[in-house]
Amino acid sequence: MCKQTGGGKNIQSAPKQMDLCMDVCIKKKKKKKKKKKKKKKKKKKKEKRKKKKRKKRKKKKKKKKKKKKKKKKKKKKKKKKMMMIDDDDDGDDDHDDDCDNDDFN
């Protein structure tokens, strides 16, 4: 039963030793159990942290993709606007460049 004092072998001859031994063993067992629980909790926390990091990474990727799409759309819109403005500018070239009249523009 108890390896330290050998109290488990003949209980009648050393009951006090047995009690002491049992107390020591029980205390040791309790301490060991607590340590194991803490380790498990740490593992769980690490796993949770890893999961959170993974989720964050996925969210960042999604946001980046959305931003890229928005940028592409904006660029296309800008190009269209530029094209439209360029087309409009072509029609305004009727007056002479030598003219100093600023009201004409």
pLDDT value, residue 81: 80
Q: What is the pTM of this model?
A: 0.26
Provide the pLDDT for residue 105.
Answer: 47
Which stretches in the chain have pLDDT values below 70?
A: 1-43, 86-105
pLDDT at 1: 47
- 31-48 per-position pLDDT tens digit: 555 666 666 666 677 788
In terms of Cβ atoms closer than 10 Å to its own Cβ (0-12, 13-18, 19+), residue 7 is: buried
The pLDDT, as a whole number, for residue 49 is 86
Rounded Cα–Cα distance for residues 66 and 62 (Å): 6
